[in-house]
Structure 1
């Protein structure tokens, strides 16, 4: 069995010869198999680009098989990508909620009750409560800002919560 003269295709003349010999058949294969929509010409060119990048690993005898496999795999990946895109197009963002008008009205009434109840708290209780629940500050931070002890902050928040529960449940 004769030994091949070259074991890779890194020579420009050899690569050019393989390109000219197999490009049109690769393009035709991809076009007939997948159609024009997925741009088979680009995929054929990319397959030969990958062949050039890996020219040291591919022998001239395996070059045709290599570019056809690479081109086919690229097209299959493109098909998978288009399927994912189509799935995401099917999912429509919700433009409505499942909340009925009665629920929305009750929510508004509850917010009004809560605002009235917070307005009825003493200033020290209201400040400590809002700093904790609205601004998310910890008891130590509130104590430092108000220049009081942590226990005093805890007591003010506890009293505020107790008053809010009583007032909201009464109404």
Structure 2
């Protein structure tokens, strides 16, 4: 990922500058949104809205604007607003969802304020996942980073859902030990049930 982006080119409306930001940051922001929203289509919508706001407000950017933090903050706030809206919708008809939505809102609100801290955390998570056997790492990534269900993963990898479940369990056991110093933040970030 680039550490800085060409804000002048972005302000001038240059498509290449916007595409560079989009290509560098979309996946990280999508993982963040998916971890809280849990639905791929809605997570994409949250992130695309953040990029749309960046484009619409590009003239107001300062030379010192940290684009990563800017988009991270918008995405995080979009997710919080979505969860609050879901809580209002579900209040009358499915009370059992309310505690889960509260937990997601609180967890999201406690995420680091800086994208740099999030990037550092993600590097630690990636480093630990890379230590897993390749088949387990691939299954874990499909579950946690791409939001696939156990059935979808089983079909894609040509294995049984029970094997998927066993691989995820092994990955979580390993990551629980490997990332013990980061557990609270990682639980908040990806809703990983350690």
Tell me the TM-score normalized by structure 1.
0.45
Task: With the length of structure 2 as denominator, give the TM-score of the two structures.
Answer: 0.40
Query: Which is greater in Rg?
Result: 1
**Structure of higher RCO (CA pairs closer than 8 Å, 6+ residues apart):** 2
